Structure 1
Amino acid sequence: MHNFFRAVRIAFRYPGTLSTSIICSLLVAVIWGGNIGTLFPIIKVTFQGRSLHEWVDSGIAEATTAQEQLRTELEQLEKAPAGEKAKPDHRQRRRAVQNELTVQQDTIDRFQTLKPYVHRLLPDDPFQTVLVIVSVLLVTTGLKGGFLLGSVVTTARLVQKVTLELRNSYFKHVLKMDPVMLGRHGTGTLLTLCNEGTDGIGNGLRCLLGVGVREPLKMFVCAVGAAWISWQLLLFTCLLVPLAALVSRALAHKIRRECKRELHQGVQLNNHVLQAFDGLQTVQAYNMEEPTKQRFHDVNVLRNRKALRIVLLQTLAKPIAELLGIAAVSLAILAGAYLVLNDTTHLFGIRMFRQAPDVETLLLFYALLLGVSEPSRKLSEVFSGIQQGCAMADRFYDIVDAPSDIVEPEEPVALPTPHRSIAYRDVNFAYNPAQPVLRDIDLTVNFGETLAIIGPNGCGKSTLAQMIPRFLDPVSGSVSIDGIDVRQTELADLRRRIGMVTQKTILFDETVLENIRYGSPDATREQVYAAARRARAHDFIQDSLQDGYDTVVGRFGGMLSGGQRQRIALSRALLRDPEILILDEATSEIDLQSELLIHQALEELPHDRTMIIVTHRVGALDLADRIVVMDAGRIVDVGTHAELLGRCEYYRHFRATVPEQAA
């Protein structure tokens, strides 16, 4: 419940909407109890055939007469002989008469309080009295409907504000995730929690702040009315409350557990859908439509089973609540019947009424108990919704509270512009402690230098490059720029100096112009055109794309070829005019012509920036001033092409076995 109430606390940031919702719910509850209370005068008038004027006047007269008789009896008891007064029966009767005198005085006071209002506001005719009460009932019911509408609308508005804030904070947190955390949770999990998770929390909030406030208030108003009639009998009918609490607690545990399992199945389903959609061409190429469809069906069936189990538990809560409510009313009916039929005020030796109840009073008491029972039945739905919200909130905040390995320094140090060098000192890194990725890396890259990094797959080349923009931090050692550890710098300051093009080019479902301008939102069209020309992208954008720079490229740039996507990505990086340009396998999956064009663009770049090229392509090595050879997470050798040919066996083997391609 702790995580769910963290979401509830967000609602208190909107006091106006919250207070309006509660006030509307309170007014609904007051009218609900008041409408039930109108049953009493209608029964009095209908059953006894007299007006409320007569009922009040006769009530005062009867109580006054009874009071006079009691006073007379009390005087006689006071005049009794001393020996008689000492007897227990005499003392007990004297106390009973005194108590009854108090009861009759209370009755007179109540009638005296009602008398001016009844005489002034209600007609003397019995039928006209009923007509007035029914008219008031209709008007108040209409008002209750209006306040109910206000309660529902303001609650919905409040819930939407909270879920909006939850989604925004969640998305903000996800955008700051490092690659390790992103891979640990998975896209399917993150997407599910962003949509279904926040919706589940919102539904729980709607149940709690809407029905969860309104129905208990209705119960409270009716319970106060019933307690005013006989709080002792009300407590007697609450004997089943502990049992209801135990049953509710057991159901809460089961519902929350099943909701978490259903959420897990939803994550699995979303993961399968995302993989199938992203790899649709592969699915079709290998005729895997049927197995993929069958797996989707199996996961979907498992999720449906969990959902049905949740529905079963939620449905079970309703009849249980209804049964316990009716059982409580039945207890009251039996107790009331015993009191009326035996004309007594005591049950099991406990005083239930100050004076023997009449039928009308008991009927009003029963009506008020039903007024408590009906909202309690609705609370079973609230209960289920809140449990579902709790399950979603637990999973939601597991993600939000997870600490990132990449943290901002409390007092960031500004980097110089331009930098003089990038240095790796004793750097070690591992995703899994048993499988190190980088070991004892020592390397210095000078400003203006082009450094190529080569080595077999999995040797740590990309990991090494990703430490500069702090996508990853070393487990030990440091990466520094001009002697300043990058962990001591502000992330935004560090990354605005870096341009990056990776093997997997990410373009957004926007125009070519917006994709190139991504990260440089203030760039003019002329600046975009200039960057595209430098990246050898301007000609194909203007000549091959229907709307030129205003062409929408589709999700991930699906409307473009691989070479076109890479050149647009390079245009985006060059538009930033970065001090450090990182090309991480940027030409590994494109055609020879596109690679040639990219290499030409890179050759023509001014030498006023540091360029790091992670590659498997021999052609890219011609751009490098120095080459780093890596194997098994270590740097095997560093040098120029000529130096490595003379002393590095791996480099000679690499040059001999890899085709020249764009060289």
Structure 2
Amino acid sequence: MKQFGRALHLAARYPGTVTAVWITSVLVAVLWATNLAAVWPVVDAVMHGESIPTWLAREVETGQQSLDDLRSQRLVAARRMSISGPETSLRLAQEMTDLRQRERLMKAKNDRIADFIPVATRWLPDTPFGTLGVVCAFVFFGTLIKNAFRIVNQLAVSRLGNLVAFDIRKDYFRHLLRLDLNEFTDRGRGDLMARCTTDIYSVGNGVQTVFGQAVREPLKMLACTIGAAWFSWRLLLLVLIVAPGAVILINWLGKALKRANRRAMEELSGVYESLTETLGAVRLIRSFGRESAERSRFHKGLKQLYARQMRIAFYDSLSSPLTENVGVAMVIVGAVSGGYLVLNQQTHLLGVPISDTPLTHGQMTAFFAMLAGMGDPARRLSGVFNVIQSAVASSERVYEVLDRQPSITDPETPRAIPTTWRTMRFENVSFQYTSDRLSLEGINLTIHRGETIAFVGPNGCGKSTLLSLPSRLYDPCEGAVFFDDLDLRDARLRDIRKRIGIVSQQALLLSDTVAENIAFGRPGASREEIVEAARRAHAHTFITERLTDGYETPVGPGGGRLSGGQRQRIALARAILRDPEILILDEATSQIDMESEQLIQRTLAEFARDRTTLLITHRPSTLTLADRIVVMEHGRILDVGTADELEGRCDMFRRLCCSPLLESA
């Protein structure tokens, strides 16, 4: 509930809307109870052939008779007390005190009615049928006004819930962009998507429910409770004796619903993850004929989700009958107790005083109307439990991600990166993704500004991991990366990353136009600059001749409308346009044909001049660009040297790329 409370607290950002919710809720509640109270004059006046003024006059007359009776009883008690013994005198004194109290209450009631008679005589009809018409008009227009306020209330509640969901979703997305990269692999995209969509929707729906039904319906119950208490608060207390048991059962039901909803959300995340994975690997699944196996896996996840949803449905089905049974029990207690008092014109029940004067039929009918007015909101609230418990479970899942702090952050007092730094140093660097195995171990390497360094080694030796450290996509577990004497962890992330351009083996494009993808690393670039970068990456020809809308052609999600080679050339154009101090190429030409590769090699040779370039490749033609080559194996640096030096002394280098290199060199 604590996490959901944080979501509710966001509503404080919109005080005007919250105020509108509360004001309209109070007005709806007051008008709800007032309309129900209209049954009192109908039963006690109209049904007896009287108008409201004559009924009030009769009430004053009846009250005066009661006052006279109370005074007579008090005088009799006074005379008896004067001739009685001490014990009897004490009892009679208490009786006289009670009579004086009832006398004061009766006089106050009579005075209130008497004060209203002139107003009623002037403004209200003097016939029973006219009185009925006024009461009906009052109820009709009261209902119209109530419903107008209710419409405003529901609009304000919807606005509040949607704004809170908007804020949480915005904060969630902003936080996702800051999280460590391993969060995306550990949790899976499907789970993170489910939290951003389904869970946050559930939280927003819960906020609407809390500020809507959970405020409006209890206020209606409170208004009816006050009305019932005005007729007889003691009888109301008697009716409410069944409430504590209902509170205990509802509390148990709420906890059960919360557990069931959280497990259902986890199952739904699994379904999202399975669907995301399947859609991303549909080519692989079809190639290996695994459609049946994937259907079975998805079917299993859906069955588990279905079982959780049915458990929620079971608990939810209990809430309405439970509320209804409590309401019926209250009405039965009230009917038996109130019926006895009215039919026998009594003020005591089993010796306990219930009212100061006998209740009339109209008062008892209005009392039952108030009980019914309490029961209807209670019935509506029975559907609130599942919504709120679902929101509580969802908010815990959402804030579990929002509360996870990234390990890679800006320092409190960042230092500036030297504009003319001379060296980049990896000093005793070790790194591990998991606790059981080091991906990098004891890396020591110095790279001079403007130098081109190639990294070669078998798959999984740590090349890509090592080149992720200069941009602080990861931080070393041990050791540090330096620009001259500046530890990169002491620099601002933005300052580091604006100096680096990356082209990876899996060229990542956004679902936008070709032009926007090229300009992604340098927002605001002119069309001429975009076209020039594309020319240098040898992408201009296919963009203008093969794509229907040229540079305005949408590339599709992930660049799926383009081939792998086309995506890589656009990614290379993006890096060229960025014009970074440090260029990182991770198998950047692996999906480009040989003819285009030769053209791109010349572009890279020119582009890398006077620029620090770090490249991962096994292609001999690309290795010719390198001033030095770093050979890696099992997360360690095996050897460093020129191609000729390594060919003579490093078996790993010869096995990977020696003989083709000699030919191309």
TM range (shorter): over 0.9
Q: CA deviation at 1:358?
A: 2.2
In 1, are the aligned partners of 2:264 and 2:309 still within 8 Å (CA)? yes
The residue number in structure 2 matching 1:105 is 107
Secondary structure class of the residue paired with 1:629: strand
Quote the Cα distance in structure 1 between the aligned partners of 2:279 and 2:62. 84
Q: Could you tell me how far 1:80 is from its partner in structure 2?
A: 4.5
Aligned counterpart for 1:216 among listed residues 201, 208, 218: 218
Question: Is structure 2 residue 622 aligned with structure 1 residue 655?
Answer: no
1:658/1:242 CA distance change after superposition, 3 Å = farther
1:587 matched to which residue of 2? 589
Between the aligned partners of 1:92 and 1:360, the Cα distance in structure 2 is 32
Post-superposition Cα deviations, 1:577-602, rounded to whole Å, max 9, x if no partner, equal: 00000011223344333433332221
Moved more, 506-515 or 543-552: 543-552
Decide whether the 8 Å contact of 1:179 with 1:471 is kept in 2: yes
Residues 330, 658 of structure 1: alpha-carbon distance in 2 compared, 3 angstrom cutoff: farther
Listed as ranges, the matches of 1:189-204 within 5 Å are 189-204=191-206
Query: What SS class does the counterpart of residue 376 from structure 2 fall into?
Result: helix
- 1:611 counterpart letter in structure 2: T
| CA distance in 2 between partners of 1:133 and 1:618 (Å) | 97
> AA paired with 1:165?
D
For 1:407, which of 406, 409, 412 is the aligned residue? 409
Counterpart pick for 1:261 among 259, 263, 273: 263
Residue 543 of structure 1 aligns to which amino acid in structure 2?
E
Query: Secondary structure in 2 aligned to 1:611?
Result: strand
* 2:535 aligned with 1:533: yes
Q: C-alpha separation between the residues in 2 aligned to 1:483 and 1:589?
A: 38
What amino acid does structure 1 have at the position aligned with 2:178?
K
Matches within 5 A, 1:196-595: 196-595=198-597
**Could you say if the C-alpha distance between residues 399 and 587 of structure 1 is closer, same or farther in structure 2, counting changes exceeding 3 Å?**
same
CA shift, 1:127, in A, is 1.0
Summarize deviations over 1:192-239 as a string: whole Å, max 9, x none: 111111111011111111111110110111111111111122122222
Residues 160 and 661 of structure 1, relative CA distance in 2, 3 Å threshold: farther
Partners of 2:326 and 2:194 in 1: CA distance: 38
Residues 637-646 or 492-501, more deviating: 637-646
2:161 aligned residue: 159
> What SS is found at the alignment partner of 2:212?
helix
Q: Where does structure 1 differ by over 4 angstroms across 4 or more consecutive aligned residues?
A: 656-663
Q: Secondary structure at the match of 1:71?
A: helix
Partner SS, residue 504 of structure 1: coil
The answer for the alignment partner of 2:607 in structure 1 is 605
CA gap of 1:661–1:101, structure 2 versus 1, over 3 A, is farther
Partner SS, residue 639 of structure 2: strand
Q: How far apart, CA to CA, are the structure 1 residues paired with 2:574 and 2:663?
A: 25
Does the CA contact (< 8 Å) of 2:234 and 2:354 recur in 1? yes
1:75 corresponds in structure 2 to 75
Q: Once the two structures are aligned, what percentage of the paired residues are identical?
A: 38
Tell me the alpha carbon deviations over residues 283-331 of structure 1, each in whole angstroms, 9 at most, x when there is no partner. Answer: 2222222322232233223222322322222222111111112112211
Count of equivalent residues: 663
Matched AA of 1:226: A
- Alignment partner of 2:655: what SS? helix
Q: Is the 8 A contact 1:497 1:578 kept in 2?
A: yes
- Cα distance change on mapping 1:272 and 1:594 into 2, 3 Å: farther
Is the deviation greater in 459-468 or in 262-271? 262-271
Aligned-residue offset at 1:342? 4.1
Aligned amino acid, residue 562 of structure 1: G
Q: Distance in 2 between matches of 1:158 and 1:558?
A: 39
Q: Would the alpha carbon gap of residues 23 and 631 (structure 1) be closer, same or farther in structure 2, given more than 3 Å must change? A: same
Using a 3 Å threshold, how does the CA distance of structure 1 residues 341 and 424 change in structure 2: closer, same or farther? same
Task: Give the superposition deviation at 1:529.
Answer: 1.3
Partners of 2:77 and 2:354 in 1: CA distance: 26
Listed as ranges, the matches of 1:108-119 within 5 Å are 108-119=110-121
Larger CA deviation: 364-373 vs 344-353: 344-353
SS of 1:607's equivalent in the other structure is: coil
Deviation of residue 479 (structure 1)? 0.9
Q: 1:390: how far off?
A: 0.5
Measured after TM superposition, the shift of residue 354 of structure 1 is 1.3
SS at match of 1:480: strand
> Is 1:7 equivalent to 2:4 in the alignment?
no
Using the TM superposition, name which of 289-298 and 653-662 deviates more.
653-662
C-alpha distance in 1 between matches for 2:269 and 2:661: 44
Aligned partners of 1:427 and 1:475 also within 8 Å: yes
- Compared with structure 1, are the counterparts of its residues 457 and 124 closer, same or farther at alpha carbon in structure 2 (3 Å cutoff)? same
Q: Tell me whether 1:50 sits opposite 2:50 in the alignment.
A: yes
Cα 1:516–1:37 shift into 2, 3 Å: same
* Aligned 1:618-637 pairs, distance under 5 A: 618-637=620-639
Q: How does 1:163-178 map to 2 (within 5 A)?
A: 163-178=165-180
Counterpart of 1:623 in 2: which secondary structure? coil
Paired with 1:545 and 1:660, the residues of 2 have a C-alpha distance of 39
- Looking at structure 2, the residues matched to 428 and 41 of structure 1 have their Cα atoms a distance apart, in angstroms, of 86
What one-letter code is carried by the residue in structure 2 that aligns with 1:30? V
Give the distance between the partners of 1:294 and 1:276, measured in 2 at CA. 12
CA distance in 1 between counterparts of 2:350 and 2:520 reads 81
- How far off its partner does 1:252 sit? 1.1
State the SS of the aligned residue for 1:588: coil
Q: Find the counterpart in structure 2 of residue 139 from structure 1.
A: 141
Q: Which residue of 2 aligns with 1:29?
A: 29
Q: CA deviation at 1:607?
A: 1.8
What is the TM-score of this pair, normalised by structure 2?
0.96
Unaligned runs of 5+ in 2: none
Q: Which amino acid aligns with 1:15?
A: P
